[in-house]
Amino acid sequence: MQTKPMKRRDFLKSAAATAAAGVAGPAVWSPAKAQDRKETLLVVSESGPNNIDIHGRGTNVPGYEVSWNCYDRLISHEMKTLPNGVEYYDRDKFKMELAEDMNVGDMSVTFKLRKDAKFQDGTPITAKDVKWSLDRSVTVGGFPTFQMAAGSLEKAEQFVVVDDSTVRVDFLRKDRLTIPDLAVIVPCVLNSELVKKNATAEDPWGLEYTKQNTAGSGAYKVTKWTPGSEVIMERNEAWALGPKPKIRRVIWRMVPSAGNRRALLERGDADISYELPNKDFAELRDAGKLNIVSTPFSNGIQYLGMNVTKPPFDNVKVRQAVAYAVPYDKIMDAVLYKLAKPMYGAAAGTPTEAVWPHAHTFNTDIAKAKQLLAEAGYPNGFETTLSFDLGFATINEPLCVLVQESLAQIGIKAEINKIPGANWRTELNKKVLPLYTNVFSGWLDYPEYFFIWCYHGKNSIFNTMSYQSKAMDALIDGAGAAASTGDKAGYEKNVKGFIDLAFTDIPRIPIFQPYSNIAMQKNVTGYQYWFHRRLDYRAFAKG
3-state class of 44 per DSSP? strand
Residue 35 falls in which region: left (phi positive, over 0), alpha (psi -120 to 50) or beta: alpha
pLDDT at 274: 86
Q: Output the CA torsion sign for 141, 144, 146, 149.
A: negative
Q: Output the CA torsion sign for 404, 408, 410, 413.
A: positive
Determine the Cα–Cα distance for residues 539 and 541; give it in Å rounded to an integer: 7
Q: At what angle do helices 278-287 and 258-266 cross, to 10 degrees?
A: 20
pLDDT at 6: 53
pLDDT at 158: 98
pLDDT at 521: 98
* Cβ contacts of 297 within 8 Å, gap of 6 or more: 439, 441, 513, 514, 515, 516, 533
Q: Give 455-506 pLDDT, tens digit per residue.
A: 999 867 899 999 999 999 999 999 999 999 999 999 999 999 999 999 999 9
Q: Which residues pair with 241 in a beta bridge?
A: none
Strands 300-306 and 435-441 come out as antiparallel
* Cβ contacts of 309 within 8 Å, gap of 6 or more: 466
- How far, in whole angstroms, is CA 94 from its chain's centroid? 20
pLDDT tens string for the chain (543 positions)? Answer: 444 455 555 655 555 554 444 333 344 545 546 788 899 999 999 999 999 999 999 899 999 999 999 999 999 999 999 998 999 999 999 999 999 999 999 999 999 999 999 999 999 999 999 999 999 999 999 999 999 999 999 999 999 999 999 999 999 999 999 999 999 999 999 999 999 999 999 999 999 999 999 999 999 999 999 999 999 999 999 999 999 999 999 999 999 999 999 999 999 999 999 889 999 999 999 999 999 999 999 999 999 999 999 999 999 999 999 999 999 999 999 999 999 999 999 999 999 999 999 999 999 999 999 999 999 999 999 999 999 999 999 999 999 999 999 999 999 999 999 999 989 999 999 999 999 999 999 999 999 999 999 999 986 789 999 999 999 999 999 999 999 999 999 999 999 999 999 999 999 999 999 999 999 999 999 999 999 999 999 999 998
3-state class of 519 per DSSP? strand
pLDDT at 36: 86
Determine the Cα–Cα distance for residues 319 and 225; give it in Å rounded to an integer: 43
pLDDT at 15: 56
Task: Provide the residue type at 52 as one letter.
Answer: I
Residue 141 falls in which region: left (phi positive, over 0), alpha (psi -120 to 50) or beta: left
pLDDT at 24: 35
pLDDT at 33: 67
Catalogue all structural domains in the chain, each as residue range(s) with its CATH number: 8-69+195-296+516-542 (3.40.190.10), 90-192 (3.90.76.10), 300-515 (3.10.105.10)
Number of Cβ within a 10 Å radius of residue 345: 13
The long-range contacts involving 128-132, CB below 8 angstroms and separated by at least 24 positions, are: 128/161, 128/164, 128/192, 129/189, 129/190, 129/191, 129/192, 129/193, 130/74, 130/98, 130/159, 130/167, 130/189, 131/156, 131/159, 131/160, 131/161, 131/167, 132/190, 132/192
Dihedral pair phi/psi, residue 71, rounded to 5°? -125, 155
